[in-house]
Structure 1
Amino acid sequence: MEPSAIGTVDDARGRSGRPRSTSRADLERIGFELFERKGFEESTIDDIAGAAGISRRTFFRYFASKNDLVWGDFEGQLVRLRELLAAVPEDVSLIDGLRATIIEFNSFDRDTVPWHRRRMELILNVPALQADSALRYNSWRSIITEFVAERTGRTPRDLEPRLIGNLALAASVASYELWLEDGTAELPDLMDAAFRRLAAGF
């Protein structure tokens, strides 16, 4: 779940100068502000921990790395994706089910959209995150591939599930790229258009 607002580094401390109780959301807010001000590569885990008023060791209780901070609760989101796909009614077509699920999965409250935009700008544009992103994309795509295989009576190793899994990922990434380029565009609308284009064929 995305934090509801972006705080500042000073927000992490109470009036007495002592840090407030730390959470994953607190560290994400502080980290993202540092990344915006200093750059992702230039901001260190020590910088984030220091701004939060915690030790480096405490930081690692929340995130295994700086990359993990950017992605947030990615594993939890994968669980949510599986649950959404499992809830697709049997009488809904494969492509319609995928379109509706992926749109829901990528829909956010208005107050969290700026936060999510900053997250995705880092994920899609920072070279240091690209290798890590590829691994996470593979996990996301595998869930789609497994869903397609189950719905079509095939295995995840077969061509059609693999193809649709890759197309779903490509459509999602393309939608995000357009969304980041156009400040007036709505992400659900872009995803709806992308998946309808896939359904119509080329």
Structure 2
Amino acid sequence: MPETGPARPGRKPTTNPEVIEAAALRLFAEHGYAATTVDMIAAEAGTSRRTFFRWFDTKAGTLWREFDTEVANLSAQLAAVPQDVPAMAAVRRAVVAVNHYRAADVGELRARMTLIGSEPELAASAAVHYDAWERAVSDFVARRAGLAADSLYPLAVGRATLAACRAAFDRWIANADADLTVYLDAALAALADGFADAVLVAEPTGPRRRRRAPRR
């Protein structure tokens, strides 16, 4: 909906990003992602190209703004979990917390995630955003374990957690029979035993290679 407040004389009210996102989703559903242009989205939203690019760098950006907000919220939720909560329990709690959606928003979320998962042209942008989500988890685990952010265990937890959540989203989209958090909670519960705090303590090292004796 248009932003509230009086508009300046001679100036049209600015369209907020939610209006542009909703317009983009409608057009993607009607015409397909590839056939939809920025001009079409701006016209559907009742705004200009200039306003569109004030909020989004590309048309793909209309699908990711909420996701990027979720990454920031996930980091905040993880930081707020008490230290005595095991790392994977903290991850599970935080992921479920940031994925509680209002009933009115579920249809749009389902449409957006379906498009992201089925449109090859979005693969590159998806990788960038999923990497940011993964890093939020792995950085948290690294801090908890006192390890470097690029150590094996934090990276493994981040990647495995992302994979579990994507599987949960896929089943939720396919089944449409339960709250998303039911699938997320079940998927993350399956990871908890394998990534218990006891194994998140050190970077594994392989056997040292023996040096050859110098030739005489």
* TM tier, smaller: 0.7 to 0.9
Name the % identity.
36
Question: 4, 17, 20: which is aligned to 1:27?
Answer: 20
When normalised by structure 1's length, the TM-score is: 0.86
Task: State the alpha-carbon separation in 2 of the partners of residues 113 and 160 from structure 1.
Answer: 34
When normalised by structure 2's length, the TM-score is: 0.81
State how 1:161-172 maps to structure 2 within 5 Å. 161-172=154-165
Task: Please tell me whether Structure 1 or Structure 2 has the larger radius of gyration of its CA atoms.
Answer: 2
Q: Which residue of 2 aligns with 1:12?
A: none
Question: 82, 90, 96: which is aligned to 1:97?
Answer: 90
Q: Which residue of 1 aligns with 2:61?
A: 68
Task: State the alpha-carbon separation in 1 of the partners of residues 107 and 135 from structure 2.
Answer: 28
116-125 or 164-173, which deviates more: 116-125
Question: 162, 186, 197: which is aligned to 1:193?
Answer: 186
Shift, 1:58, TM fit? 2.1
Task: State the alpha-carbon separation in 1 of the partners of residues 99 and 66 from structure 2.
Answer: 14
For 1:174, what is the secondary structure of its paired residue? Answer: helix
Task: State the alpha-carbon separation in 2 of the partners of residues 104 and 157 from structure 1.
Answer: 26
Deviations along 1:122-180, one digit per CA (max 9) or x if unpaired, are 11111111111001111111111110000111111111101101111001100001111
Question: 158, 161, 169: which is aligned to 1:176?
Answer: 169
Q: Which residue of 1 aligns with 2:30?
A: 37
Task: State the alpha-carbon separation in 2 of the partners of residues 120 and 75 from structure 1.
Answer: 14
Q: Which residue of 1 aligns with 2:50?
A: 57
Task: State the alpha-carbon separation in 1 of the partners of residues 66 and 103 from structure 2.
Answer: 19
Shift, 1:20, TM fit? 6.3
Task: State the alpha-carbon separation in 1 of the partners of residues 58 and 81 from structure 2.
Answer: 35
Deviations along 1:18-38, one digit per CA (max 9) or x if unpaired, are x86411011111111111111
Q: Which residue of 1 aligns with 2:76?
A: 83
The yes-or-no answer on 1:110 pairing with 2:114 is no
* Bigger helix share: 1
| Residues 118 and 20 of structure 1, relative CA distance in 2, 3 Å threshold | farther
The yes-or-no answer on 1:152 pairing with 2:145 is yes
Task: State the alpha-carbon separation in 2 of the partners of residues 90 and 48 from structure 1.
Answer: 46
Q: Which residue of 1 aligns with 2:130?
A: 137
Task: State the alpha-carbon separation in 1 of the partners of residues 177 and 66 from structure 2.
Answer: 27
**Which runs of 5 or more residues in structure 2 are unaligned?**
2-11, 196-216
Task: State the alpha-carbon separation in 1 of the partners of residues 161 and 116 from structure 2.
Answer: 18
Task: State the alpha-carbon separation in 2 of the partners of residues 87 and 144 from structure 1.
Answer: 13
For 1:113, what is the secondary structure of its paired residue? Answer: helix
Task: State the alpha-carbon separation in 2 of the partners of residues 183 and 75 from structure 1.
Answer: 24
CA RMSD of superposed structures (Å):
1.7
**Which runs of 5 or more residues in structure 1 are unaligned?**
1-6, 8-18
Task: State the alpha-carbon separation in 2 of the partners of residues 191 and 74 from structure 1.
Answer: 16
